[in-house]
Amino acid sequence: MKKIRFLWASIAFLVLIITLYSYDGLTNSDIWIFLTWMMLLLSFPAGLLVSLGHMILGEYFSIGIKTSLVSLSIEWVIYFILGYIQWFKVIPWLINKVKFYLFKKNQGSQ
């Protein structure tokens, strides 16, 4: 599991490096598309919450987020945290709970 965690984090940091290096300094830069899709893939389905947040801010509150190094970094951190918690905290916890339940159930039927 440590190798998978290291690989996942390495890919996520590579996405951040490519994003920050490729940012052209424009407030409507398209590099956010790369960041969004790559981090959405790494953090799916929890990463959908970030997209939902963007939609809510834009549609219901008319708040537009200008692309900047800071906004790109903050978005990456949010995706990273959501993905990390999902894949390396919640999923292993659920797997352990299911294993425990199945083990307990098998012990009770014998």
Q: Which residue has the tokens 């929890």?
A: 46
Contact 76, 39 (CB under 8 A): yes
Model pLDDT, residue 72: 94
Query: With b meaning 16 or more CB within 10 Å and e meaning fewer, what string describes 79-102?
Result: bbebbbebbbeeeeeeeeeeeeee
Model pLDDT, residue 47: 92
CA geometry: angle 79, 84, 88, nearest 5 deg? 160
- Which residues, given as ranges, of the chain have pLDDT below 70? 108-110
Nearest to 86 by CA among 47, 57, 40: 47
Can you tell me the distance from the alpha carbon of 67 to that of 24, in angstroms, rounded to the nearest whole number? 10
Q: Where are the domains of the chain?
A: 2-108
Model pLDDT, residue 110: 59
